[in-house]
Amino acid sequence: MSIAKVIEFSSSSHKGVEDAVQQGLKKVAETVKNLQGAWVSETKVITDKDGNIKEWRVNLRITFVVE
């Protein structure tokens, strides 16, 4: 039998959504073992006054197996 746990965190990138997700997963993988998958539960952009995107932000929920 295995037990999985889900945690939620936020990540950001100036490049785009995919980079924000990838950078967040890499950072979490430094301290969490047995990552199994992730859900992007929310996407947000930070803009300047002219409507240009300055930063992408994502909220992620990841699943990992507890040893």
pLDDT for 17-54, tens place per residue? 999 999 999 999 999 999 999 999 999 999 999 999 99
Task: Note the pTM of the prediction, 2 decimals.
Answer: 0.86
List, for residues 46-59, the tens digit of each pLDDT value.
999 999 999 999 99
Q: HEC string of the chain?
A: CCEEEEEEEEEEECCCHHHHHHHHHHHHHCCCCCEEEEEEEEEEEEECCCCCEEEEEEEEEEEEEEC
* CB-based contacts of 48, cutoff 8 Å, min separation 6: 54
Residue 37: closest CA among 59, 2, 6, 9: 6
Which phi and psi (to 5°) does residue 31 adopt? -125, -15
Q: Please report the domains of the chain, with CATH numbers, ordered by start residue.
A: 3-66 (3.30.1660.10)
